[in-house]
């Protein structure tokens, strides 16, 4: 009996765990999950500051319109006031500069007029005490808990970490994923394929999927279908957190990957799932006292690799990164056309989903080697069981990607 998708996911989930926390420069921690509580080392703002360009003064001085005050000095952001403001005087102040002693309000420059270089005429009636002043510590206080363990770091949090002086943070690191394409027929994209050869689509496809899923891709290039070559490349890949291999896991005479992996000590968890495309999927784990590596052998056809990645690899990368193990997003949609499904196995068929109308259109697809059709796809329609004709308007399950 072949495993169903859900059973395969359960077995995968059961053997993978969040990676151990590491201290990283905050600049390398975007999207990572925080693995410590973070506290502020300062009050923010660190001083009472002006939030406008204008004049710091005593609100009680402004009894008439205009009130003319003597300008004591000018303070820009980064400077410190040197003079105390007394009755009948004011300090010209710029946004962000510390509030001078003796003042309790700032009038914005737009509400003033300069009769001469020494004086300022204030045209605001009865300024409110405290207006245009941000008090020390109103945003954050020294010692305050500002970010909690488990929080995902966005750009906002990176800015905040800088504000409180944190250049290094403890996070769950991004999983490192080795990508190995296999096949004697493969040539790299810059080469013209000779007789019997094709270009290697899977390395760029899988490296891109790894990056989009929040992993760091390590491209091991092409492995030839001989045991020695595959063994040395797989051994290199097993030093990372995850090894994703494409090709060589089916029933052909040169499908050597399962044998090579078990020889290297990788424990097979399952081989084959009830899925089209993607049936030959191989999954296992290497466990040594020092290191663990999750291993996927994906079938070589590019669309099979894509389907298996989206269904099974992406949730692993999320879990390793400290997030939840979450499969592909599923929903219901309405078929826009009749569709004849020639089934047997549970099938994911490329389709175009319209999220506004909730309608889905199956694409004319030539099978798992047809990556071109996938350029128009954003979903897979799920077909179950035996061949049948689905009618226009019928509800189907779809997986979004």
Asked if 134 and 98 count as a contact pair (C-beta separation under 8 A), the reply is no
Q: Is 185 in the site for ligand AMP (CB under 6 A)?
A: yes
Helix (H, G, I), strand (E, B) or coil at 396: strand
| Binding residues for Mg ion (CB under 5 A) | 183, 247-248, 300
Q: Is 209 in the site for ligand AMP (CB under 6 A)?
A: no
Residue given tokens 């204008």 in the structure block? 54
Nearest approach in angstroms of CB 247 to Mg ion is 4
Q: Is 299 in the site for ligand AMP (CB under 6 A)?
A: yes
Residue given tokens 């994911």 in the structure block? 348
Q: Is 250 in the site for ligand AMP (CB under 6 A)?
A: yes
Among 65, 77, 83, 198, interactor with ligand AMP by CB under 6 A? 198
CA distance 3 to 8: 6
Nearest approach in angstroms of CB 5 to ligand AMP is 19
Among candidates 366, 392, 285, 328, which has minimal Cα distance to 17? Answer: 285
Q: In the complex with ligand AMP, which residue's Cβ is closer, 120 or 244?
A: 244
Nearest approach in angstroms of CB 235 to ligand AMP is 20
Q: Is 202 in the site for ligand AMP (CB under 6 A)?
A: yes
Asked if 11 and 270 count as a contact pair (C-beta separation under 8 A), the reply is yes
Nearest approach in angstroms of CB 389 to ligand AMP is 30
Binding site partner of 202, from Mg ion, ligand AMP, none, Cβ cut-off 5-8 A by kind: ligand AMP
Nearest approach in angstroms of CB 249 to Mg ion is 9
Q: Is 200 in the site for ligand AMP (CB under 6 A)?
A: yes
Stretch that binds ligand AMP, among 69-77, 136-144, 297-305, 358-366 (CB under 6 A): 297-305
> Which one-letter DSSP state was computed for residue 16?
-
Neighbours of 2 (CB within 10 A): 14
Residue 211 token pair: 């990056």
Q: Is 258 in the site for ligand AMP (CB under 6 A)?
A: no
Site size for ligand AMP (CB under 6 A) = 19
Binding site partner of 16, from Mg ion, ligand AMP, none, Cβ cut-off 5-8 A by kind: none
CA distance 138 to 372: 56
CA distance 131 to 134: 8
CA distance 251 to 256: 9
Q: Tell me whether strands 176-182 and 216-223 are parallel, antiparallel or unpaired.
A: parallel
Helix, strand, coil content of the chain in percent (nearest 5): 20, 35, 45
Nearest approach in angstroms of CB 327 to ligand AMP is 23
Residues of this chain that bind ligand AMP (CB under 6 A): 181, 183, 185-186, 198, 200-202, 246-248, 250, 252, 255, 299-302, 369
């Amino acid at each position: 009996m072949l495993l169903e998708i859900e059973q395969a996911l359960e077995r995968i989930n059961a053997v993978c765990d969040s990676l151990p926390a590491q201290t990283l420069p905050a600049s390398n921690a975007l999207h990572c999950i925080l693995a410590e509580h973070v506290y502020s080392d300062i009050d923010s703002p660190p001083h009472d500051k002006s939030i406008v360009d204008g004049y710091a003064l005593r609100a009680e001085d402004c009894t008439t319109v205009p009130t003319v005050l003597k300008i004591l000095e000018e303070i820009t952001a980064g400077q410190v006031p040197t003079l105390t403001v007394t009755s009948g005087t004011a300090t010209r102040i710029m946004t962000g500069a510390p509030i001078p002693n003796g003042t309790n309000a700032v009038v914005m420059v737009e509400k003033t007029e300069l009769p001469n270089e020494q004086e300022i005429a204030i045209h605001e009636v009865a300024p409110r005490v405290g207006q245009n002043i941000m008090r020390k510590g109103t945003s954050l206080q020294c010692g305050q808990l500002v970010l909690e363990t488990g929080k995902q770091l966005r750009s906002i949090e990176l800015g905040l970490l800088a504000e409180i002086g944190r250049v290094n943070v403890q996070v769950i690191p991004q999983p490192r994923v080795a990508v190995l394409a296999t096949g004697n027929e493969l040539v790299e994209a810059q080469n013209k394929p000779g007789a019997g050869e094709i270009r290697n689509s899977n390395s760029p496809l899988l490296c891109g999927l790894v990056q989009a899923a929040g992993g760091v891709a390590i491209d091991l290039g092409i492995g030839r279908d001989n045991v020695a070559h595959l063994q040395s490349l797989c051994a290199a890949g097993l030093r990372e957190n995850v090894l994703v291999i494409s090709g060589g896991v089916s029933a052909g005479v040169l499908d050597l990957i399962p044998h090579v992996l078990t020889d290297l000590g990788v424990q097979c968890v399952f081989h084959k799932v009830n899925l089209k495309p993607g049936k030959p999927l191989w999954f296992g784990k290497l466990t040594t006292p020092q290191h663990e590596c999750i291993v996927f052998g994906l079938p070589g056809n590019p669309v099979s690799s894509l389907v298996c990645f989206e269904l099974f690899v992406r949730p692993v990368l999320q879990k390793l990164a400290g997030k939840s193990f979450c499969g592909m997003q599923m929903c219901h949609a309405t078929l826009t056309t009749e569709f004849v499904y020639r089934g047997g196995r549970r099938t994911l068929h490329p389709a175009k989903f319209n999220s506004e109308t909730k309608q889905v259109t199956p694409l004319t697809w030539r099978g798992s080697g047809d990556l071109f059709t996938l350029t128009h796809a954003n979903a897979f329609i799920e077909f179950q069981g035996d061949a049948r004709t689905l009618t226009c308007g019928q509800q189907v399950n779809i997986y979004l990607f």
